[in-house]
Structure 1
């Protein structure tokens, strides 16, 4: 956890001087709220149902509309594995804190990138017949993503995005093993700047 937090803090500190300089010229449209809706794809072997709905809500600030910080919440859907007599499932949700950047490369077209620290809460369970049992696990991880989009107006943008979430399940050092997985998310997004 300390290494992940340190990496996120260093990234914000490294970007701050550039962001402060960029902020001197523009005070408009720096705050943003963005929502993504799409599909998650679990990168786990042996799972029969690897895809589910994905959504993400992020808030942030970009200095001069270029680089800044964000925080958000994502529901990564549910992965399931069905057997003849039972089914197992896992459903992670994450809070995220990181850096974000947006660069207009041609007229209203732009590319974006973001990444940072995440705190996951994964609920996993098993169902046998009518009996179910589940357990929750809280862990640290990281996320990163990129997108391409179009500024429809000065305040509204639409984009297509790819994100990757590195999520853990279990307790490190406990008798149970800790499972790590990457979850890809493909989505469309709307961003509003104010």
Structure 2
């Protein structure tokens, strides 16, 4: 994990001066903040309720308004299974760092894509009758997504998005870890400044 994070940080530091020089005369609004709100879907077997609320908040910068870097935080909701006297559940959250791209293809219409590294914190629990126990784990993973949207003004955009988060659960690295793909369908607002 440390080697991957170090390599990503060095790549950003190495490219940043060249990107800044290339962008000196560009008048586009390159810094952005984007918020997504929608529904997550846990793609894991054995769950009776796989959907929950989802939100994501991202900050970033695009060179020439097209390609750039982003950081963000996502709450992926909760997946659960409820039986007679027993219920199990998992709730995942993720900090993310990656690349982003936006391309206007017709008038104010555009497509977006993004992806990168995530650090997830998953809390899983079991409740039997009145007794409950839970455990947290922190793991590495990845995310990727795409969207289509419309520039309402020069600074504000609205979009519909699909994102996929690949998270793991487990604290003991010597044992196999549980993997899960969590899909997210959302609407988003982006503000550029």
TM-score > 0.5, shorter chain as reference = yes
Residue 192 of structure 1 pairs with residue 182 of structure 2: no
Cα separation, partners in 2 of 1:75 and 1:34, compared to 1, 3 Å: same
Judging changes above 3 Å, is the alpha-carbon distance between structure 1 residues 19 and 141 closer, same or farther for their aligned structure 2 residues?
same
Partner SS state of residue 5, structure 1: helix
The Cα of 1:125 is off from its aligned counterpart by 0.4
| Partners of 1:25 and 1:110 in 2: CA distance | 23
Deviations 1:7-66 (A, max 9, x none): 755875897698557524414311000000000011111111110000000000011110
What are the within-5 Å matches in structure 2 for residues 42-121 of structure 1?
Answer: 42-121=42-121
Change (3 A) 1:129 1:146: same
Q: Is residue 8–residue 116 contact of structure 1 (8 Å, CA) maintained in 2?
A: no
Q: When the two structures are superposed, what TM-score results if normalisation uses the length of structure 1?
A: 0.91
Paired residue secondary structure (2:77): coil
Aligned with 1:171: secondary structure? coil
Change (3 A) 1:149 1:7: farther
Deviation track 1:111-152 (CA, whole Å, cap 9, x = no partner) reads: 000000000011110111222111100000000000000000
TM-score norm. by structure 2 comes to 0.91
1:181 counterpart residue number? 180
Secondary structure of 2:171 counterpart? coil
Q: Give the aligned length.
A: 193
Unpaired runs of 5+ residues, structure 2, are: none
Q: How far is 1:85 from its partner?
A: 1.4
2:29 corresponds in structure 1 to: 29
- SS of match in other structure, 1:159: strand
Partner of 1:138: 138
Q: In structure 1, how many angstroms separate the alpha carbons of the residues matched to 2:171 and 2:135?
A: 12
* Cα 1:4–1:47 shift into 2, 3 Å: farther
Q: Is the deviation greater in 1-10 or in 118-127?
A: 1-10
Unaligned runs of 5+ in 1: none
